[in-house]
Amino acid sequence: MSDLWSVETSSLAADGEAIMRNGNIYQIANGYMGYRGTLDEYGRSELVAITLAGVFDRVGEAWREPVNAPNGGYTRIAVDGQTVGALEVPVSAHHQALSLRNAVFERKTAFALDGKTVTIASQRFLSAAEPHLGVIRYSISSDHDADIVVETGIDGDIWDLNGPHLPRLDAKMYGDTLVIAGMTNELGKCVAVAESATIPFGQQHHKVDGNRNLRVVSFKAEAGKTYTFWKYFAVCTAFEEAGLTAPEAAIAAVHEAKAQGFDVCLAAHNAVWADKWAQCDVIIEGDDETQHALRYSIFQLLIVAPVDGSRNSIPARALSGQVYKGAVFWDTEMFMFPFFLHTCPQKAAELLRYRIRTLDGARRKALTEGAGYRGAFYAWESQETGDDACTYFNIGDPLTKRELRTHFRDKQVHISGDVAIAMWEYFKLTGDDCILLEGGAEVILECARFYYSYAYFKKEKNRYEILDVIGPDEYHERVNNNAFTNMVVRATFEIASQTAFYLAETHPEAFKALVQKIAIAQELPLFAEAARLLYVPEPNPTDGLIEQFDGYFNLRNVPVEELKSQRIHPDEYLGAGQGLAVPTQVIKQADVVMMLSLFRERYPTAVKRVNWEYYEPRTEHGSSLSACAYAMVAAEFGNLDFAYKYFLKTARLDLDAKYKIYVGTVFMGGSHPAANGGAWMTAVFGFGGVSAGADQVTISPRLYKSWRSLKFKLAYKGDSFDITITHDSVAVTAAPSNRQTRRFCVWGRDESCVPGKRILIDRAEKVA
């Protein structure tokens, strides 16, 4: 990094893997689409992709996956008849940078061509103000006179994992606008890209070259002069509701952008970004490396936040490509949602609306999974309908080349509660019941109903139990009474009762209609009973340990490294019934500790410490979701060095991009928005010690030693607060526009924060 607001490099990625990793690091996105960090002249073999949010397709028996649009950002030049590109001709200088401030990607590359140096420079952004729009400024200069031909337009040669999704592309030109449109394979819906350009030099003609729809511009470049043109492209699809067809809408969008021009488009884009950062930035003084990594993490979340009104969510690999089928996992509610909820709740609401939209899919899954259940069993891998994209056999065994049966889909039942908890948290922290009334209450009740139909009662123990599940630790499948899962289920039953109570009190008509619609009147009292009688593994009275599931403590205790040394093949999966970890205490990721983090207000610090110390050495951290949970809980009981180490690990994950690209034969490269969310949570919840509840915000700071201060904004109950934490004090400033005085509890002291006022709490006073 050269400053705290950018990622940049002067070395050119030349091999396939480096190009792939840079494609992730330098990606831009605007919630509607993601554009990998590739160069203008790159094509499918360099993994160029414009991945569309919420647009899915399936080819044959392969996985359904998101559709990549034709690349409207394509430009390539030829100089004196020679094709020029970073991978074809010698590069004498290269620089590329991604601005975190406004998600603008730029590159500048000088090519050495038989004594001439030709330099191209481009800047591109996907408009944060107009989600369909991508805008590019492209410049060419040569130190000698040269004959230059520019080919720019739309590249329909699309990189796909399981494509082609737009099998018969149609390339047209309408006036000065290029269009490529195609129909998806499965649903036959149109995806269209339009492109137009302002090119104030040269002779133009139109050319269709295979799947490329191009304008060809020939000109004689004078030595030392810079030739700049501007491209506008738009992606529209028939998956959206619109009066226009997708090509029409795309054409209209580029016409409007072109009429406004680059600067106006950029200004609108920048204004949105300024708002985003004003709401969401976290400032760490005294530790630039961490500041940079954390900001990059936040940036990653901001670029993929769903477009308002889209009712889309964020897939586990965001918009960085088609990995993980573009599916939404529990990652969203448990690791990304808290960031949005505490900074820009309108995006948190959008994530929830996605679950409301897919409720019917969750109902279908409940009915058909296992013995058949009632209520809503959310998809483990959710696409646009909520039906489960997760397969029953989905981990390749390198030893037998067979697919292993896993139970991610049918047994990881905590997903429904994760959704219900997020619904309720939104209401609790925003004070806004809109989501409940839009369908969130229905989701919550249907999730509780699912759990009730899933639970068994043990008569002789007078308790409900949750049997045969996978908790967050996926190495141990089909376990009974997983602490995390059972706690999530209990919380869901509690939330269901609270939801019913709240609606009955405040919206009796809506409540009545809902109860009637889903015929749940007789079940509501059962949820309260189940919350009361559900067994959740408790801390052992003698040592405080919580057993991850029934029988976990009887498993063999083997050091993680020793276990891994027993692998016959390095890619061998450690779980799936017969894996090496199954009969041992080695776990894939935080499980009990994840529970202690999620339900942090329910457990004393001592319990957190002993369980952390027990489980951490047994954790392989084979999931990107693991480190942040351990970091947060470590911060809570005061192991700040460990918290810091795992915080950095989480925050730097996508910036370093050193993760595995392949697991077996499955391509896994892509970004990790859950880790990004985990980084934010570790900063604010862990080190900041922030815990926002229904009645007040608690702040118990545990600042890392090298930090001078930690500053961030907090959205709470529709109001906004600036928080500044130092080692000695906490300052909370309420925005003048706040509507109410809110209660804060800082270092155990209760304070009220009046709109427009600042409170300063001194640590010393607490000690005194």
* Encoded amino acid at 751, one letter: E
Q: Look up residue 213 and give its two tokens.
A: 């729809």
Q: What is the DSSP letter of 619?
A: B
Is residue 452 within 8 Å of residue 572, measured between CB atoms? no
Is residue 416 within 8 Å of residue 422, measured between CB atoms? no
DSSP structure string for 232-295: EEEEEETTS--SS-HHHHHHHHHHHHHHH-HHHHHHHHHHHHHHHHHHH-EEEET-HHHHHHHH
Least distance (Å) between residue 522 CB and a second copy: 10
User: Known catalytic residue: 425?
Assistant: no
Q: Look up residue 353 and give its two tokens.
A: 């609306």
Q: How far apart are CA 596 and CA 608, in angstroms?
A: 6
Q: Look up residue 178 and give its two tokens.
A: 């290029």
Among 106, 381, 446, 474, the one annotated catalytic: 474
Q: How far apart are CA 11 and CA 89, in angstroms?
A: 15
User: Cβ closer to a second copy: 106 or 397?
Assistant: 397
Residues 6+ apart with CB under 8 A from 218: 147, 148, 149, 150, 202, 203
| Nearest residue to 108 via CA among 118, 121, 117, 123 | 121
Q: How far apart are CA 719 and CA 731, in angstroms?
A: 16
Is residue 341 within 8 Å of residue 352, measured between CB atoms? no
User: Cβ closer to a second copy: 174 or 456?
Assistant: 456
Strand arrangement, sheet containing 65-69: 28-29, 33-35, 50-57, 65-69
User: Cβ closer to a second copy: 168 or 459?
Assistant: 459
Least distance (Å) between residue 577 CB and a second copy: 4
| Nearest residue to 118 via CA among 151, 80, 87 | 80
User: Cβ closer to a second copy: 468 or 636?
Assistant: 468
Q: For helices 414-430 and 441-454, what crossing angle results, to 10°?
A: 150
User: Cβ closer to a second copy: 478 or 705?
Assistant: 478
Interface with a second copy (CB under 8 A) = 370-371, 392-393, 397, 399-400, 402, 404-405, 452-453, 456-460, 465, 467-468, 478, 480, 526, 550-551, 568, 576-578, 582-583
Buried b (16+ CB within 10 A) or exposed e, 445-473: bbbbbbbbebbeeeeeeebbbbebbbbbb
User: Cβ closer to a second copy: 9 or 480?
Assistant: 480
3-state secondary structure of 207: strand
Q: Look up residue 195 and give its two tokens.
A: 């492109």
Least distance (Å) between residue 550 CB and a second copy: 5
| Nearest residue to 124 via CA among 107, 141, 149, 101 | 107
Which positions are catalytic? 474
